[in-house]
A and B are shown apart, each in its own frame.
Chain A
Amino acid sequence: MSLSANPAGLLADLARALPQERLLSQPAQLTPYESDALTAFRARPCAVVLPETSQEVLETVRLCAKHQVPFLARGSGTSLSGGSLPIDGGVVIGLNRLNKLLKLDPQERIAVVQPGFINLHVSNAAAPYGLYYAPDPSSQPVSTIGGNLAFNSGGAHCLKYGMTSNHVLGAKVVLPTGEVVELGGESLEGLGPDWLGLFVGSEGLMGIALEIRLRLLPKPEKYHTLLAAYDSLGKAGEAVAAVVASGLLPGAMEIMDSLAIEAAEAAVHAGYPMEARALLIVELEGETPQVEAEAKYLSEVIAQSGPYEVRVAKDNDERMRIWKGRKAAFSAVGRLSPDYIVQDGVVPRSKLGQALSEIERLSHQHGLRVANVFHAGDGNLHPLILYDGKIAGELERGEVLAGEILKMCVALGGTITGEHGVGMEKKEYMPEMFTPQDLEAMHRIHRSVDPDELSNRGKMFPSGEAPALSHGAHPLEQAGVISRE
């Protein structure tokens, strides 16, 4: 932490450098920026800057660096891990007004956008050319490409197409020092180290993307969307394993449990079977003959998994309703409980059933309801822990339960985050996954880009003093698993 931070000087410089309506510093202007989509955390920035040009972003970053005041970039503020939570006394750089489509080249299947461009708008803009942008986080009508990039966002269809990192070709980035660099290039094939790969998913710690080059894909010719209702979560989990084992690669495979079904149904009237204990959504997509052949095979595999009801979307309206329900499920859980914690752990697909019964056991043990809605095909769990913050001790119990779920994911061979990022929320769990040496290596890379730790300070790395430099043997070396010999 720098001792020479000068927020007063920064505010004065910002007021000189920017048109008046770009700079917010009154209490009523700052209050609404104190949280992102994780309201358990709040912090008051000293100012919010809403640039309308790349140049204004650059100037803001350079002034922050000059005055040693930490900053963070924010798009629509939809982070579920507190990734866009302000830094206390720092600057929020809101990029939502930088929302232009700079280029759309249907021949090259490329779109170049500013960071505040909304995910779904990419697909809308590409639709007239039969193209779309594949990563589809549930927040896609709201969340921005800049934020998607910072958190390497996933989504239901990332099972088949991969995460954001598989769809970003290049980015123009302002580093925390104020230097501007171009990362990546025209295609996924590049020469030298994958700097872009390092930047994507770095949770805003490495600077701010000013322009982002995205890959577009041809829209699938046909969709086949199947809903299977089960009388237990375990059966739905086994059905996923059976589909994977069958060799099919659906576009998406999602599971919702009864609480999630109840919430989503109340929100969008998707027509889900309300009495189901678990609902599996499987979507095949591609060219018509292929989808038709796969659909036949899929229905056999699903029939053997013991569902009590199977439905296939008859038309696009029904398909959209099914997805609308699934994608609204997180927020819809707000109907069941005044507060909840969304978790984002990943387990190997073969361990799904085991993980779900363990979550159920933990839920009983801590006396808190847990709704499950998740990307089953990826093994990416999203347990939603319901609690009432007004009841003393419930939040704390919820946090303990959330922590135990994450530890379980790691123990089963998974990770603490699939797509929401570490942010503020999961940083204390980083040591569950990484050794002090691993973390130190990450820190060294981080500091080489941002020596003063100005960009999104305090996120992702566990708090407390950074571990002392140590060059001893890696624990895996100590355990005899790896060797430098």
Chain B
Amino acid sequence: MQHKIPVSQLGPQGEIMAHAIEACVHCGFCLPACPTYTVLGEEMDSPRGRIFLMKEVLEGGLNLEEATPYLDKCLGCVGCVTACPSGVAYGELISTFRGWSEPKRQRTPFQKVFRMAIQETLPYPSRFRTAATLGKLGKLMQPVLPQFLQAPLNLLPDELPMAQPLPEVIPAEGARRAKVAFLAGCAQQVLQPNFNWATLRVLAKNGVEVVIPKGQGCCGALSMHTGERERALGFARNNLEAFPPDVDAIITNAAGCGSGLKEYHILFHGEPESALADGFVKKVKDVSVFLAELGLKEPPALKQPLKVAYHDACHLAHAQGVRAEPRKLLKSIPGVELLEIAEGELCCGSAGTYNLEQPAIAATLGERKARNIIATGARLIVTGNIGCFTQIQTHLRKLGKEIPVMHTLELLDKAYSG
């Protein structure tokens, strides 16, 4: 598509945006893949519509404020990237655009406080723990709280697990087959610490030595995807320094973090750390991919057959192209019958902080996902992302279905331990 974006004035970020916009041929193949278009049925809430809007804003033909209501509704699930035949790097476009536009936005004081609250708590496990504990108190007062505070509270568990600090090294069991560094994640550590423990046990079981670099912090995905570019750069710089170079891979067990880490080369495009970031990105692997490539030690058979539905997290399936590996791992557990969820490509509505910022659309998508999951008849739901986990659990409960939800590595861990 033609554009008149003043790329030279916009710098390296402008190149990324212009490149993505040029590749769009407006064919519309993204429409059915887009959750907001599916729900709202409006062109400006579709990927190609948003590309048009971003182009107009960058060209100066449309005010940013007029376009933002529609751009803000984008989940960043990048389902459109999977569907796009002409290879538009939409994820890079929307993240970069949000980074470019955020300083120019005129937000209300309330929006500023709300965003700041998210940015200052979620990426920091200890702060998030405090906030979540306060949130538990909030839950008692939920009926009298205003609407905008309901969404975050709905996603909090009734009981917060105890903090369990991770060690710095976990040795391999038996002969060492590989050495990896592990990103522990933020909210996940507080809400579901067992995700990490299960992951570490399974890695050790498979002969993998794991180091958990002490200086690591948030991957920066949360900031990157909400336009907080400087903050994201800070987190990313810290991680470039914290992670040791002498490892076979940098492992994550959260889809969102994995795709965030894999975007470091975009984030650092035109920055001095660009080459360092490229090398870092090449080592990043979701734990399911790493294990599938390494060759999983076959777990013992389950005591009885189990119908399992695997939910594709968007940031695994669409952002990282990881679909086959988690399924392969699950199928390697004797007794697991793996089921596919209808509309599996469609986002569950969690999408990072989306369910906090756009609760209505997030809830519509969450319910739709829960209904499709229930229709599979599965007895257990497995996924590879904390956000999806929370969202699915919340919406299954809302529909009165207490189907257990687990991380892929938790089921593997359970299989090993019998």
In the assembly, what is the distance between CA of A142 and CA of B69, in Å? 25
Query: Would B41 and A50 count as touching, CB distance under 8 A?
Result: yes
Question: Within the complex, what minimum Cβ distance (angstroms) separates B10 from chain A?
Answer: 16
Interface residues of A in 324-343 (CB under 8 A from B): 328-335, 338-340
Q: Which residues of chain A have C-beta atoms less than 8 A from B31's C-beta?
A: 76, 142
Q: Which residues of chain B have C-beta atoms less than 8 A from A24's C-beta?
A: 42, 44
- Residue interface mask A24-55, B partner, CB < 8 A = 1: 10111101111111110000000010100000
Partner of A76 from B1, B22, B23, B28 at Cβ < 8 Å: B28
Does A78 touch B at the CB level, under 8 Å? yes
Question: Within the complex, what minimum Cβ distance (angstroms) separates A316 from chain B?
Answer: 15
- Residue interface mask B38-80, A partner, CB < 8 A = 1: 0001111010111011001000001000110110000000000
In the assembly, what is the distance between CA of A94 and CA of B86, in Å? 25
Contacts A33-B43, A334-B24, A334-B87; A389 near B2 (Cβ below 8 A)? yes
Question: Within the complex, what minimum Cβ distance (angstroms) separates A49 from chain B?
Answer: 12
Question: Within the complex, what minimum Cβ distance (angstroms) separates B186 from chain A?
Answer: 34
Q: Which residues of chain A have C-beta atoms less than 8 A from B67's C-beta?
A: 28
Query: Would A390 and B85 count as touching, CB distance under 8 A?
Result: no
Interface residues of B in 12-29 (CB under 8 A from A): 22-29
Query: Would B29 and A34 count as touching, CB distance under 8 A?
Result: no
In the assembly, what is the distance between CA of A338 and CA of B24, in Å? 8
Does A130 touch B at the CB level, under 8 Å? no
Question: Within the complex, what minimum Cβ distance (angstroms) separates A418 from chain B?
Answer: 18
Kindly report which residue of chain B lies nearest to residue A268, judged by CB atoms. Answer: B85
Name the residue among A26, A94, A118, A331 with the largest chain B CB count within 10 angstroms: A331
Name the residue among B1, B49, B84, B86 with the largest chain A CB count within 10 angstroms: B86
In the assembly, what is the distance between CA of A29 and CA of B86, in Å? 25
Q: Which residues of chain A have C-beta atoms less than 8 A from B50's C-beta?
A: 32
Q: Which residues of chain A have C-beta atoms less than 8 A from B48's C-beta?
A: 32
Question: Within the complex, what minimum Cβ distance (angstroms) separates B333 from chain A?
Answer: 24
- Residue interface mask B71-107, A partner, CB < 8 A = 1: 0000000000000111110000000000000000000
In the assembly, what is the distance between CA of A302 and CA of B50, in Å? 47
Partner of A338 from B1, B43, B44 at Cβ < 8 Å: B1
Question: Within the complex, what minimum Cβ distance (angstroms) separates A228 from chain B?
Answer: 24
New A-B pairs, 18, CB < 8 Å, besides A39-B26, A267-B87:
A28-B67, A31-B56, A31-B62, A32-B48, A32-B49, A37-B27, A76-B31, A94-B41, A94-B43, A118-B32, A143-B28, A331-B27, A333-B86, A335-B86, A338-B1, A338-B2, A338-B22, A338-B23
Between A and B, 16 residue pairs with Cβ closer than 8 Å are A27-B62, A28-B62, A34-B52, A35-B52, A37-B26, A37-B27, A139-B27, A267-B86, A267-B87, A328-B85, A331-B85, A333-B25, A334-B23, A334-B27, A334-B88, A340-B25
Chain A interface (Cβ within 8 Å of chain B)? 24, 26-29, 31-39, 48, 50, 76-78, 94, 96-97, 118, 139, 141-143, 266-268, 328-335, 338-340, 389-390
